[in-house]
Chains A and B, each alone.
Chain A
Amino acid sequence: MSSESKFGEYGGQYVPEALMPAIEELTDAYERYVLNNEDGFVDEFRERLADFGGRPTPLQRADRLSERYDREVYLKREDLVHGGAHKLNNALGQVLLAKYMGKERIIAETGAGQHGTATAMAAAHLDIDCEIYMGRTDINRQRPNVFRMRIHDAEVNPVTAGSGTLKEAINATMRDWATNVEDTHYVIGSVVGPHPFPKMVRDFQSVISEEAREQIREKAGRLPDSVVACAGGGSNTMGAFHEFVGDEDVDLLAVEAGGSGLTIDEEAGLAPHSASLSAGEEGVLHGARTKLLQNPDGQILESHSVSAGLDYSGVGPELAHLVDEGRVRPVNVGDDAALEAFHRLSKLEGIIPALESSHALAYLERAALGDADDDLGEVVVVNVSGRGDKDLDTVIEESDSRDIDAAPSMEVFQSE
């Protein structure tokens, strides 16, 4: 058991004083219920993950990808979790914890809408009021998820500040929490924020690598040579890596959104990518010290990715630490490569991956067939963090405007 708030230099609790008592209360609840299984919390969580969430998810051998890349490729199918993404693992854990703590109201932020959907779903399942903050830009590009949240009776509050994406939604949720902290729990959607969130969210997500580690031993007869996962805030990344961190022979690759390039436009305050592990600098944002996209004055830059779920200027402090330690290697792929990978998996394996997960799949292509000299080894596990149904509008529009080779033409189906 560890209640240490830092990962090396990263992490900590940089929040307004009004929130600190709630964070102390949460830290106490995390230690008692999650780490020590008080009142059977972990047992109930596991049971609900199975019966409501549909776990364990399969580790599937991808036959045609294996052939294409001339190695064993396994897909961890988090797209098959109830709701269509790994996000439910964490949302269910935190909403259940909030119930154990006697909280009356849940708030959450969401980027792509997957975390908001998972939280709304868990809140409906466990019967607790729920409000979600979502950037205006993200609302426009993820309408199906907005509707899904509404179906589950959650309020969705549009956030118009800045570029209207995840960073602004987090700011707005923090402000709500500071106002209603006494009866409200903030379900942070990734391994970010003040301690204990990065550890707690990782613990809820580590079921991914716990299952995958056992499954790959069964299927391949050994541990993988590498595990590949996309990284925005980093919750599916830490979830997919955690149980492998101690296995020094397993390479851990965090694939970030390279957007349209790794340069930074400081005049415009914009990074045309979301690669804070690859290109960020240490700083303090949203309650933690971590790697951030920022200018030399410490102002946070707007990030970009074709995938709303990766579009964030920061990253979890534990990942930042593991990168500094050399245990996790950050790599990145651009928007176009991610779109190509989206279509490739759909065509070759019959699985429509989320645009987030498409980044991990795009890296596989590049490492095996492209210009990267990475040797992913003979046995590779790729985390398919979510399904891509939510991204169809974006993919149709972006595939057309970018001339994505692998995309099917919809021209003959245009209405007359």
Chain B
Amino acid sequence: MSESDLEAAFADGPALVSYVVAGDPDVESTKEHVRALVRGGADVVELGLPFSEPIAEGPTIQRAVRRALDAGMTPERYLDLVADLREDVDVPLVCMTYFNPIYQYGAGEARSASDASGETASEGPEPFVAAAAEAGISGFIVPDLPVDESGPLKEACEAHGLDLVFMVAPTTTDDRLDRMLSRASGFVYVQGRLGTTGARSDVSDRTHGSLGRLDRTDLPKAVGFGISERDHAREIVAGGADGVIVGSAFVDIVADGRDAADRLEAKARELKAGALDGASEVPEPERT
């Protein structure tokens, strides 16, 4: 089986996975921001497709999602943005969103066009996945879609050669982990702590326990939730992760607005350097 775009992004050392909300504060800024993150060393960019009810997000990203929606972000504009970025950005782009916008794509318009009987059956997630693949998305992360409900989206992703990334939480049981790993591709998103997204001042103790349980998979493991500084990135990679996922720390810079592109680039460089430091601390694996 050939390696996916996402797996490949982890092949040359520890990866920095970065996240910004598409359309926050506007489409042109997002393009600049993504390019800046890539210049700073981001190996994967998660581009948030805003959903009005982001239940897994902390205040920073909730506000960013609101700004993007108020500025008029829609799934169509999102796909145009991705296609534009693909012209000069060569790292994989991942669509991070909730299930309803994916599920409604196509169905909503079909309903508006249909007569009052409204007998338009939804086609499920396939139309959006097809359009995302066409635009240049490499995979999906959908926080409100646990493995139990992931069947239709997983099928659509496979049909279009995209990865569906699953999140492993500190509370995930071994039985659930097995089910998840049997379906996971791209990389495994290790939720470093309970709660919602948001920059924190330390690395949760639970991160190490979570990583330890993932020895059984060959997929790259990236840790997210709460990472905002060079030292966090170092500690996490030194602890055995193949990458770090950083969202709120970048979104904070976007929210502040001043010299956002330059500061995003510098922040990405700082975090990537931390990850590289961490990698140099990892003992060479024993070969058997």
Interface residues in chain A, defined as those with a beta carbon under 8 Å from any beta carbon in chain B: 12-22, 24, 161-162, 167, 171, 174-175, 178-182, 269, 281-287, 292, 294-300
One of A18, A161, A167, A285 near B194 (C-beta < 8 A):
A18
Does A20 contact B62, Cβ atoms closer than 8 Å?
no
Within 24-60 of B, Cβ neighbours of A (below 8 Å) are at 51-56, 58
Query: Which of B101, B118, B169 interacts with A298 by CB under 8 Å?
Result: B101
Instruction: List 18 A-B residue pairs with CB atoms under 8 Å apart, sorted by A's residue number.
Output: A15-B144, A16-B55, A16-B143, A16-B146, A20-B169, A162-B52, A167-B53, A171-B54, A182-B171, A182-B194, A281-B107, A284-B98, A287-B144, A295-B108, A296-B109, A298-B51, A298-B101, A299-B101
Query: Does B69 interact with chain A (Cβ within 8 Å)?
Result: yes
Pair B104/A285 contact, Cβ less than 8 Å? no
A327 to chain B, nearest CB (A): 18
Which one of B99, B122, B176, B195 contacts A21 once the chains associate, using CB atoms below 8 Å?
A: B176
- Distance in angstroms between the alpha carbons of A161 and B55 in the assembled complex: 12
Is B191 a contact partner of A175 (Cβ separation < 8 A)? no
Return the chain A residue nearest B144 by Cβ: A14
Of the residues A175, A282, A296, A299, contact of B51 by C-beta under 8 Å: A299
Report chain A residues within 8 Å CB of B118: 281
Bound: A178/B53 CA distance, A: 15
Which residues of the partner chain A approach B148 to less than 8 Å between Cβ atoms? 13, 20
B residues with CB within 8 A of A: 51-56, 58, 62, 69, 74-75, 98-105, 107-109, 111-112, 118, 122, 143-149, 166-173, 176, 180, 191, 194-196
Contact residues in B for A296 (Cβ distance below 8 Å) = 104, 108-109, 111-112
Tally of A-B Cβ pairs under 8 angstroms: 131
Query: What residues on B are CB-neighbors of A15 within 8 Å?
Result: 55, 144, 146
Residues on A with beta carbons closer than 8 Å to the beta carbon of B56: 16, 175, 178
Nearest-Cβ distance from residue A278 to partner chain B, whole angstroms:
11
Closest approach, in angstroms, between the C-beta of A233 and any C-beta of chain B?
Answer: 15
Are A298 and B172 in contact, with the CB atoms below 8 A?
Answer: no
Closest Cβ of chain B to A39, distance in Å, is 24
Q: Residue of A at shortest CB range from B112?
A: A296
User: How far is it, in angstroms, between the C-alpha of A102 and the C-alpha of B114 when the chains are bound?
Assistant: 51
A40 to B80, CA, bound (A): 59
Chain A residues with Cβ below 8 Å from B169 are: 16-18, 20-21
User: Which 4 A/B pairs are nearest by Cβ-Cβ distance?
Assistant: A296-B108, A298-B104, A18-B169, A179-B195
Contact of A300 among B52, B149, B166, B171 (CB under 8 A): B52
Nearest CB on B from A295, distance (A):
7
Residues of B with C-beta under 8 A to A179:
194-196
Which residue on B lies nearest to A281, using beta carbons?
B111
Q: Supply 9 further A-B pairs (C-beta < 8 A) apart from A182-B194, A296-B109, A297-B101.
A: A14-B146, A17-B166, A18-B195, A174-B55, A178-B196, A282-B107, A296-B111, A296-B112, A297-B74
The answer to whether A12 touches B104 (Cβ under 8 A) is no
Complex interface: chain A residues within 8 A of B99 (CB): 14, 284
Q: Is the CB of B149 within 8 A of A297?
A: no
Closest to B193 in A: A179
Q: Is the CB of B194 within 8 A of A283?
A: no
Instruction: Assess whether B146 is in contact with A13, with CB atoms less than 8 Å apart.
Output: yes
Whether A17 and B52, one on each chain, are in contact in the complex, defined by CB atoms closer than 8 angstroms, is no
Whether A17 contacts B100 in the complex (CB less than 8 A), given A295-B108, A299-B51, comes out as no
In the docked arrangement, what's the CA distance between A12 and B146, Å? 11
Residue in B146, B168, B180, B191 whose Cβ sees the most chain A Cβ within 10 Å: B146
Chain A residues within an 8 Å CB radius of B55: 15-16, 171, 174-175, 178, 286
B72 to chain A, nearest CB (A): 10
Are A20 and B194 interface neighbours, CB within 8 A? Answer: no
Within the complex, the shortest CB–CB distance from B142 to chain A, in Å, comes to 9
A17 touches B149 (CB 8 A): no
Q: B149 touching A178 by the CB < 8 A rule?
A: no
- Residues on B with C-beta less than 8 A from A174 are 55
Q: Which residue of B lies closest to A173 (CB)?
A: B55
> B168's closest neighbor in chain A, by CB?
A17
- Choose one: B69, B103, B122; the contact of A299 (CB below 8 Å): B69
Give chain B nearest CB distance to A93 CB in angstroms. Answer: 24
Instruction: For A175, give its contact among B112, B147, B172, B196 (CB under 8 Å).
Output: B196
